[in-house]
Amino acid sequence: MADNNIYDAIIVGGGPAGLTAAIYLARARYRVLVLEKDRFGGQITITHEVVNYPGIESTSGEALTETMRVQAANFGAEFMLAEVKGIEANDTIKTVSTSKGDFKAFALLIATGANPRHIGFEGESEFRGRGVAYCATCDGEFFTGKELLVIGGGYASAEEAMFLTRYASKVTILVRKDAFSCAKSIADEVMAHPKIEVKFNHELKSIEGTDMGIVKAHIYDNKNDTSFEYTASNQDTFGVFVFAGYVPNTSLVKDIVALDESGYIITDSDMQTNVKGVFAAGDVCIKGLRQVVTATADGALAACAMEKVAAAAHESTGIIPVVPNATRKAPQESVSVKASASATTDGSFVTEDMIPQLNAVFERMESAITLEVCSDGSDKGSELLSAMNEIAALSDKITVTQGSCDDMPAVRLVKNGQFTGLSFHGVPGGHEFTSFILGLYNASGPGQAVDDADMQRIKSIAAPTKIQVLISLSCTMCPDLVVAAQRIASLNDNVTTEVYDLNLFPALRDKYKVMSVPCLVVNEEHISFGRKNMSELLDIILK
């Protein structure tokens, strides 16, 4: 019996493990749904350069996982951005409860990954975003010309320390043990770098600072049982980047499947947990090496075993999920347009390969939008005007006018002669290109889907609310917050969302003491740092 309301497999988590499993299951013509809370790609999307994935000489984490996502979608995998609230896994048909409803499947894969570990030294929380950072790609440029401490002795620490030498005057790596835990070739490269000093058997205990940033660190030598104070050689402020491992995201299943003492999921050789039909893959599992290649291997193993579970369920229940047509794309709420990694040869803003993706979005727009460009006559102002004209040339639903506003250059989105509350200060390229296009789609309508609970909270915002999102175009974690803030503004006239490229507005960076992005400022008072989804942002606004 065919059934449109059930899946063969549901995958919770859209990183390399989950995406690989989706590729295998969808290619085998099983119906599969991938659920992701924030953005597809996982932790690897913040890695600037991946050079050890077999068959690909060099790429970025975001580009690699986006290729995986498209590949899975083309085989027929379905994708949804939703937060999983609960799981019922005791029966043949499992139920996954999410912020967008309940979904059922014969097999479940938990691929929720892990988050960067906060190691708990004194001052870590106090200076997060103002000297303490966890993403070299996102925040490295804020420390140009400064000295840095890097905490950790693994692969991530070594690779990110190398990346940070592009900006820092000096990098000192503190390794708690007596050697790196990464490959010797990488460790040797780090040790030989003229800008890097490595201190083995050293631990960061505390940091001190002022409103301007971190000025002092207390470091413990655990081999000689001595301590000393670290200050920058030029008495300037310095930064601390933490790459000290990860904490598994297993709170969702801690009472459902067996975990080890560190909170990682225990699986067998087929990646199945102690609960029949429930599998786990990727960084959420026990393993000796946490890399993309091991995550994809886990996903492939799990998928092959999940196929057998689904096939057996077809026989025992008589229910066969209806598989969508292959070559389908991600659903409408997952609109994605990838900006060119480098400038085109003719200097244009929109590349040829982007045009079909843009047209697909513009065709769904309901109302005309005017891009009101506020140019200050600078080179960036002229670049912004040219870029907006290129976008407008692709659709008769988009026009460009010139105006004047605070903090130029900027572009304001106007509908029916009224400001929509959405504006971008700078040129929305790099990682913010997609979020800008989504802003157009959300302002015009129908926009991205919002679950009922969040919609009620958005409508309840009665006081004027000014949201500023301070970003850099190289930040891979910024677009999630930008899209959420813009969507809220598009749905409530009491809310405005202004996005700023901090490279063009140093006065804002100084005003809010920003050394990490994204930085969220609500009503010029509440300041917080880091990626946030819509529910988390609403918690702050409605506090």
For residues 149 and 143, is the Cβ–Cβ distance under 8 A?
no
Token couple for 108: 């479940």
Q: Based on the number of CB atoms within 10 Å of its own CB, is 308 exposed (0-12), middle (13-18) or buried (19 or more)?
A: exposed
Per-residue buried b or exposed e for 138-176, using 16+ beta carbons within 10 Å of the residue's own CB? bbbbbbeebbbbbbbbbbbbbbbbbbbbebbbbbbbbbb
Token couple for 238: 């310095």
Give Cβ neighbours of residue 526 (< 8 Å, ≥ 6 apart): 520, 540, 543
Question: How many Cα atoms sit within 13 Å of 530 on the Cβ side?
Answer: 12
Is 475 annotated in the active site? no
DSSP 117: P
For residues 227 and 221, is the Cβ–Cβ distance under 8 A?
yes
For residues 222 and 201, is the Cβ–Cβ distance under 8 A?
yes
The one catalytic residue in 3, 8, 38, 138 is 138
Distance (Å, rounded) from C-alpha 47 to C-alpha 160? 8
Look at residues 163, 196, 164 and name the one whose alpha carbon lies nearest to residue 180: 196
For residues 47 and 59, is the Cβ–Cβ distance under 8 A?
no
The one catalytic residue in 139, 283, 480, 501 is 139
Distance (Å, rounded) from C-alpha 28 to C-alpha 30? 6
Distance (Å, rounded) from C-alpha 434 to C-alpha 430? 9
Residue with tokens 């727009």: 365
How many CB atoms are closer than 10 A to CB 193?
15
Is 3 annotated in the active site? no
For residues 335 and 437, is the Cβ–Cβ distance under 8 A?
yes
Is residue 238 helix, strand or coil? Answer: strand
DSSP 264: P
For residues 514 and 212, is the Cβ–Cβ distance under 8 A?
no
Query: DSSP string of 296-346?
Result: HHHHHHHHHHHHHHHHHHHHHH--EEPPPPTT----GGG---PPPSS--TT
Whether omega for the bond prior to residue 518 falls within 30 degrees of 0, making it cis, is yes
- Distance of CA 461 to CAs 423, 445, 470, 525, Å? 20, 20, 22, 17
Distance (Å, rounded) from C-alpha 253 to C-alpha 336? 30
Is 138 annotated in the active site? yes
Distance (Å, rounded) from C-alpha 58 to C-alpha 54? 10
The one catalytic residue in 135, 285, 478, 519 is 135
Could you give the residue ranges of the DSSP H alpha helices within 35-143?
A: 61-75, 136-139
Q: Could you give the residue numbers annotated as active site? A: 135, 138-139
